[in-house]
Amino acid sequence: MREITLKIGRPTPLTAIATEPKGFDPSKPAVLILNSGVMHHIGTCRISVRIARELAKSGFLALRFDFSGIGDSEPRRGTASFAESSSAEITEVMNYLEQKKGIKKFIVYGLCSGADASYEIAKKDPRIVGMVQIDAYCYPNWQSKLIHYAPRILKLDVWLRFIKRILGTPQPARDEEQIDAENIEMPSYIREFPAREEIAKGLQGIIDSNIHIYNIFTGGMLQTFNHSKQYAENFSDVDFKDRLKVDFYKELDHIITSPEYQQKIPFDICLWVKMVSDKSSHI
Amino acid sequence: MNPLFFGPSSHPLYGVFHPATGSIQKKEGVLLCPPFGQEYMRSHRAFRQLALLLSKKGYAVMRFDYRGTGDSSGDIEEINIDEWLDNIKTAAEELKETAFVEKIHVIGLRLGAILASSASFNIEIDKLVLWDSLRSGLAYDEELQVEMKKEGDDAAFNHIDTNGTLHFNGFPLVKSVRDDLQKLDLLNSPPQAEKILQVVSKETSCSRAIDQAWSSKPNYTYAHAPAPGNWNYVDDFGGILLPQPVIQSIVNWIDNS
């Protein structure tokens, strides 16, 4: 395995790290590892580095890159939305790898906003054969509300907090961190979940394009997603065929601080990528 | 902004080189030594901004990741502190060779400040900036343990395991590294540099202790630039991600002192 830096695109290139396996095979899909929010390309708790190196050990090229304006990529001019610019930049990276390395199939991976970007490109680009998402779009339903609220009904402190909120009782501020807004100059990504019907339609299109989906949900948004069957319930109108795998780890946080899961998730993704690679080898 | 791998091919380090872009090229290089763990994640943008501003002032700048961290080779479980100190030396040499500069300034943040201070015995440093530094490796370890207690059940995976590895917010510090860190103490072994700046976003007992110990030194300067400075907390504005007053204070001192 070796790692090299790449600068992709002009005039303002995107910074990327390619993790290349020994005995690189361009017929296998390459895995593109996307940013999560404004976090740079090593990923939360270095998970993107672990995933890339695990994949390379199994013979897959993995490429971690920063979208423009994030991490080590300089900002580009323009007024495109994140959905538009991220898709355009992923396409640019795929074009580069296709031209330089002869790779024609890709799997996209992302956590949080990276999951959203994966979904957007999977809808559009026929070179995508798989998509791994951590904490993808999902929607509370009556089952998740029951699971979330039922244990709270008998808790006194929950009711006290609720009453305080209704009465508008001011909450103490963390004075040490009160800051001037003028000191802040950050790119931001406000995550909004589109209407469920829109996502259902998009997912059906993705599945019908023979793209496999691996969704991992953490316990980082339990008010929204809190049981393993919820994804299937959310999208019961989508025929996923045999192309969907869902794992739910209630005890895990959104930024994957658990040492155990920092090992497990790259390993599981790697196994799944091998499966997708085998299934897509005839394409 | 040029990303690169450098150092020994068996254990390459990742860095980003920012060539001098100002109208006046200073023929001086600035090396940035990052903190560790979530603090490293949170400081990435601030370091990039600092590097860009310094490069516009005519300095060649290098950011880099220690072995076992960021994009550099290896796993965190394999490293030791001596190796990280060697990494700083390697990065300084790379900066000198890449930018054709002789004079090197070093900026270290938090744990990076302690490491930069220790590395100053092996590298000739002209200006050394200690940003939100701790007074010792032991103080750093103790601070992490206090934070662990504060976060309690909100951070279920924070713990010290049976091997003595401290797991804090997703990053492990193995026992041998924690032991090595206890040997690093700014007050017992003050850094060697032509000029030293201690800059703090918030005054603490630690910053005051360092200031008190060094205030009579002719080459020492202290600056308080109020800004978000709790590296273990991100407010709703993301203030810690880009503490402009400190960044500006550092740039001014490097350029004008």
Cα separation, B106 vs B124, whole angstroms: 10
Q: A–B: how many Cβ contacts below 8 A?
A: 98
| pLDDT at residue A175, rounded to an integer | 43
Q: Which residues pair with A228 in a beta bridge?
A: none
Can you give the pLDDT at residue A186?
47
Contact B131, B110 (CB under 8 A): yes
pTM of this structure: 0.92
- Residue contact B167–A15, C-beta within 8 A: no
> In whole angstroms, what is the distance from residue A34 CA to residue A40 CA?
9
Instruction: List CB contacts (< 8 A) between A259 and chain B.
Output: 157, 167, 172
Residue pair B182/B137 in contact (Cβ under 8 Å)? The answer is yes
Q: How far is B78 from chain A (nearest CA, A)?
A: 14
Would you give the end-to-end CA distance of chain B in angstroms? 26
Judge whether residue B163 has pLDDT over 60. yes
Residue B126: which of B109, B155, B144, B104 has the closest Cα?
B104
Task: Give helix A82-101 / helix A113-124 axis angle, nearest 10°.
Answer: 60
pLDDT of residue A178: 42
> Residue B133's closest CA among B72, B190, B64?
B190
The residue that leads in pLDDT, A15 or A158, is A15
Cα A78 from Cα A247, distance rounded (Å): 38
From A177, A251, A257, residue closest to B233, measured CB to CB: A177
| B129-137: average pLDDT | 96
Q: Does residue B62 contact residue B68 with C-beta atoms inside 8 Å?
A: no
Residue A20 phi, psi dihedral angles, 5° rounding: -100, 135
Sign (positive or negative) of CA dihedral B116, B120, B124, B130: positive
Predicted confidence (pLDDT) per residue in A265-282, tens digit: 999 999 999 999 999 887
Model confidence pLDDT, tens digit, residues B213-228? 999 999 999 999 998 8
Mean pLDDT of A171-198: 60
3-state secondary structure of A6: strand
Judging contacts by C-beta atoms under 8 Å, the chain A residues touching residue B238 are 38, 184, 186, 188
Express each pLDDT in A208-257 by its tens digit.
999 999 999 999 989 899 999 999 999 999 999 999 999 999 999 999 99
Query: Given this model, what pLDDT does residue A263 score?
Result: 96
Give the model's pLDDT for residue A177: 43
Closest in A4, A184, A262 to B242, CB measured: A184
Q: Output the pLDDT for position B51.
A: 97
Angle at B219 between CA B218 and CA B222, to 5 degrees: 95
Give residue B129's pLDDT band: very low, low, confident or very high (50, 70, 90): very high
Chain A environment of B237 (Cβ under 8 Å): 179, 181, 184, 186
Q: Please state, in angstroms and rounded to a whole number, the distance separating the CA atoms of residues B212 and B8.
A: 41
In this complex, do A5 and B235 lie within 8 Å of one another by their Cβ atoms? no
Percentage above 90 pLDDT, chain B: 84
Note the pLDDT of residue A188: 55
**CA–CA gap between residue B65 and residue A69 (Å, rounded):** 20
According to the model, what pLDDT value does residue A171 have? Answer: 54
A182: confidence class by pLDDT, cuts 50, 70, 90: very low
Cβ–Cβ below 8 Å for A39 and B1: no
Would you give the DSSP letter of residue B152? G
Strand pairing class (B13-18; B2-6): antiparallel
pLDDT tens profile A24-52 = 999 999 999 999 988 999 999 999 999 99
Nearest to B235 among A15, A179, A259 (CB): A179
SS3 (DSSP) at A33: strand
* pLDDT value for A112: 94
Does position A179 have pLDDT exceeding 60, yes or no?
no
Query: For residue A104, what are the contacts with CB-CB under 8 A and spacing of at least 6?
Result: A26, A27, A98, A127
Question: What stretch of H or E contains A130?
Answer: strand A128-134
- Beta pairing, strands A30-33 & A62-65: parallel
Chain B interface disruption, residue of A42, A252, A262, most B CBs within 10 A: A42
A81-135 pLDDT tens trace: 888 999 999 999 999 999 999 999 999 999 999 999 999 999 999 999 999 999 9
Closest chain B C-alpha to A32 CA, distance in angstroms:
16
Which residues sit opposite B105 in a β-bridge?
B30
Does A41 contact B228 at a Cβ distance shorter than 8 Å? no
Q: Where are the beta strands (DSSP E) in B201-239?
A: 220-224
Query: For B173-193, what is each residue's pLDDT tens digit?
Result: 999 999 999 999 999 999 999
If pLDDT is split at 50, 70 and 90, which confidence band does A55 have? very high
Name the residue of chain A whose CA is nearest to B13's CA: A3
Q: Do A186 and B41 touch (CB under 8 A)?
A: no
Mean pLDDT across the stretch B39-44?
94
pLDDT digit string (tens) for A215-226?
A: 999 999 898 999
The ipTM of this complex is 0.94
**A interface test, pick of B2, B44, B61 with most A CB neighbours within 10 Å:** B44
Inter-residue contact A131 to A108 (CB < 8 Å): yes
State residue A168's pLDDT score.
67
pLDDT at A157: 72
Which of B8-12, B144-148, B194-198 comes out lowest in average pLDDT? B144-148
Whether residue A171 lies within 8 A of chain B, CB to CB, comes out as no
Compute φ and ψ for B229, nearest 5 degrees: -140, 5
Residue A178, class by beta-carbon neighbours within 10 Å (0-12 exposed, 13-18 middle, 19+ buried)? exposed
- pLDDT at position A163: 74
Mean pLDDT rounded to a whole number for chain A: 90
Return d(Cα B116, Cα A78) in angstroms, integer: 40
Give the confidence band of A145 by pLDDT, cuts at 50, 70, 90.
Answer: confident
Beta bridge partners of B222: B198
Residue A27 is predicted with a pLDDT of 96
| B70-98 residue pLDDT tens | 999 999 999 999 999 999 999 999 999 99
CB B129 within 8 A of CB B253: yes
A176, B44: Cβ pair inside 8 Å?
no
CB atoms within 10 A of CB A213: 23
Whose tokens are 């996502």? That residue is: A199
Distance of CA B189 to the CA centre of its chain: 17
